[in-house]
Amino acid sequence: MISISFNRIDPLFMYTQLLKEALLEIEDDDTKSIKELVDYCRLHSDAAEKTLEKIEKEYCNHTSIWWYTGPYFIYSMLNRGLRLMDVDIIMKLGFFIRHLHNHITQLHREQQSSKVAMPSKFQVFRGQGLSMEAFEKMKKTKGGLMSFNNFLSTSRNREISFETYAQSAALDTNSVGILFVMNIDTAICTASSTPFINVKNVGFYDDQEEEILFSTHTIFRIDHIERIEDKHTDRFWQVNLTLTGNQDNDFNKLTAHLREELDVVGTGWSRLGQILIKLGEPAKAEHLYQLLLEKASSDGDKAQYNSQLGSVYQSIGEYSKAITFYERAIYMHKKMSPPSQLNLAASYGNIGSVYNNMGEYSKALSSYEPLLEIQKIAVPPNHPSLAASYHNIGLVYYNMGEYSKALSLYEQSLEIRKIALPSNHPDFAQSYNNIGLVYNNMGEYSKALSSYERALEIEKIALPLNHPNLAAPHHNIGLVYYNMGEYSKALSSYERALEIEKKALLPTHPDLAASYNSIGVVYNKMGEYSKALSSHERSLEIRKIALPSNHPDLAQSYNNIGNVYYNMGEHSKALSYYEKALDIDKKVLPPNHPSLASSYHNIGLVYKNMGEYSKALSSYERSLEIRKKALPPNHPDMASSYNNIGMVCDNMGEYSKALSSYERALEIKRIALPPNHPDLAASYLNIGSVYYNLGEYSKALTSYERSLEIKKIAYPPNHPDMASSYNNIGAVYDDMGEYSKALSSYERSLEIQKIALPSNHPDLAGSYNNIGLVYYNMGEYSKALSSYERSLEIKKIALPPNHPDLAASYNNIGMVYDKMGEYSKALSYYEKALQIKKIALPPAHPSTARTERNIELLKKKM
């Protein structure tokens, strides 16, 4: 069965012509290749020794078409190799693929100018089986393009194709019998370099089938699909095709872009390896490059294959192996006489990229700097490779939190590209994406959105409709909307990115996992925890298939699932996932990588909410310790660590320590971030909470109002974080006894949340709870009860049945009934609260003790 791929469904389709080009560029020594094929078959196939000896002795006595159509293993072996992308088979038959294509091309020219020339337009037929899955793909691609990923045997005789091949295929219950009816226009064949031949008089057998043989990876358009009526089965179908070759404009545009991407790696076998990586087959690419390295004799080839092995290991997160092979490439380049300066520079750049991935930013800069120096000497001042270097160095500074330096370098890269490249070159999109990324992290969301939209605009012009690169700007735009609190827009952008990737990539490609991950993060923020969990688990499932067991992206998935369970109040599950993430990070990352700090932060967060403050503090301090070694002293993540430590100290009642940590965080943010960045608002909020707990309400109010002032500048008017500020201000007024002001602030908070969040988001429950508290303090118990019950109603929908926040609602309702003298109702609610706390919280948690005390006092009243 010949392998078929479908446009916009199979990723292999995008690389059909490039794969063909790569195979035809390979010029191995024929005598040596024949011997290697025979030796391989003796070890790995059931081919008869007589056949192998015949090939070894007589291969050159016959044409490649004679061997291909003969009763030998070559036809089936070649089919299997191309269908499975089997590296060993393709390498061993590479010479034969080239011979067969060249022979078909030569005979095509001869036959079309002779008496046996085919009519200008004619039909051929092919009967074969298709798996149910492949047939469903075909139906989805109706009107689009498909490729036969091998040399295509067809017949002028419809009956032979139908009765001998299609009917027999339909007897298999797992397949569909297909009769392909192919309309051929010889003018298109000539224009698109799609050669075919009449096998009569040139094949092994007398041509009873009237066989027409096409070269590899021939492309057709699917015109029509209809069922063939048969009394024995309903699995007979006729599919009408029209040969298009490479005359499709979108396909040509895509192929040209992909060819440009792959040109940097050379030709032939090297390009084939990169295609395998693009197809999500890094293990096959690794095997190919290892085989090529073993055969390599020149220093140049050894350098190239070492470098490409480094790229394979980098793509799967095996960074130490990647560096080892990149360093071997540098060694081989230096051995060459004279050394290739640009290849040497590329290897330094590769090592810099790995160190950047490892979080070793000073080493990354040390690698990129010699690369830049070599390029400044070796290439003109506005060469695109210089733009790439400025981009890479900018990326390191971005990761270090030095956003102004990153922005300067990204803009320098963009300026070079404006001089060196056409106005809509895809590299412009990369520059605008990078600039958008910096603005996004600086909290300048309108500038970020503008940059990302410019990138998308360029890529829409430069790339075909569903090119996988179009997913990235949609993803980036989604991230800005997420940060702006516009979650429905964020979700829409992320889902568009996923839609593109589903059409362009394999279902287990890591990029799909990243999109599912982003969608999960939005659902988590929206309080739709089951949807969030489903998305994150789908992401994890893909990563487990596509990546090594200790890849850092798996740690990210575990962290994200932990985040959802944390928000659901299932702290033990959250802790389990956070610890899995930490375990992976410890195995694959350097001991002071920033990702380790993030894992310790997450674990600290769970312990804090479980009331285990000493464990929380220990985790947060370990996180800070790592960041002090890995990051510059004023990196925003350092501020995050001081904030976390401040929160624990605040909860422990150590207010002076909390205030000191919060002020240190604010100091860092003032240096690292623009004056109206949302993270500054968060610091003022934290400082306000300490003053609030100290009972210094005027200072708390000042800090909360400063936080709100920044948010009003940084965010859209109905951003959910605005609601949190109004809630905090309301809490101060409530404690100051200014109930009307408190009520006004809480109601403004609720108003924002109703616009920004789903109707059953837990944050709305928080606002109803706050409003209930004001009414409770005002002695308006019926209004308090109404608000508390609305809060409980939302929590029952949004949260798991034993979430601690449900206990808080039962407790509040119990307090109202207690005040109203309805003691039996109060007792019922207190007991419900206690039951949940005993399940959800650690033993002897202070909150559990308070509820037990409430019950004890109530019973005395009764």
How do residues 443-464 score in pLDDT, each as one tens digit? Answer: 889 999 999 999 999 988 877 7
Kindly list the distances between the CA atom of residue 741 and the CA atoms of 27, 598, 706, 775, 783, in Å, as whole numbers in the listed order.
83, 39, 17, 12, 17
**pLDDT surpasses 80 at 556:** yes
Question: What's phi and psi for 424, nearest 5 deg?
Answer: -115, 30
Asked whether the predicted pLDDT for residue 251 surpasses 70, the reply is: no
Give the neighbor-by-neighbor strand order of the sheet with 236-243. Answer: 4-6, 145-148, 218-227, 236-243, 175-185, 121-131, 152-155, 211-214, 196-198
Task: Check residue 595 and give its pLDDT.
Answer: 86
DSSP 8-class letter at 297:
-
Q: Where are the alpha helices (DSSP H) in 421-509?
A: 426-441, 445-462, 471-483, 487-504
Residue 845 Cα distances to 309, 830, 833, 837, angstroms: 54, 16, 13, 9
| Contact between 530 and 512 (Cβ < 8 Å) | no
Judged against a pLDDT cut of 50, whether residue 1 lies above it is answered with no
Per-residue pLDDT, 25: 80
Question: What pLDDT shows up at residue 206?
Answer: 62
- SS3 at position 591: coil
Q: What does the pLDDT look like over 640-661, one tens digit per residue? A: 999 999 999 999 999 999 999 9
Please tell me the predicted confidence (pLDDT) of residue 338.
Answer: 75
What CA–CA distances, in Å, run from 324 to 284, 331, 349, 734, 815? 20, 11, 14, 63, 66
Over 60: is that where the pLDDT of 2 sits? Answer: no
The more confidently predicted of residues 246 and 698 is: 698
Average pLDDT in the 733-753 region?
95
- pLDDT at residue 673, rounded to an integer: 86
Q: How do strand 152-155 and strand 4-6 relate by DSSP bridges?
A: unpaired
Give, to the nearest 10 degrees, the angle between helix 341-358 and helix 384-399: 20
For the chain, the average pLDDT equals: 88
The pLDDT confidence band at residue 106, using thresholds 50, 70 and 90, is very high
Instruction: Inform me whether the pLDDT recorded for 266 exceeds 70.
Output: no
pLDDT tens per residue, range 762-795 = 899 999 999 999 999 999 999 999 999 999 999 9
The domains found in the chain, sorted by start residue, are 8-257 (3.90.176.10), 319-378 (1.25.40), 643-861 (1.25.40.10)
Name residue 829's amino acid.
Answer: Y
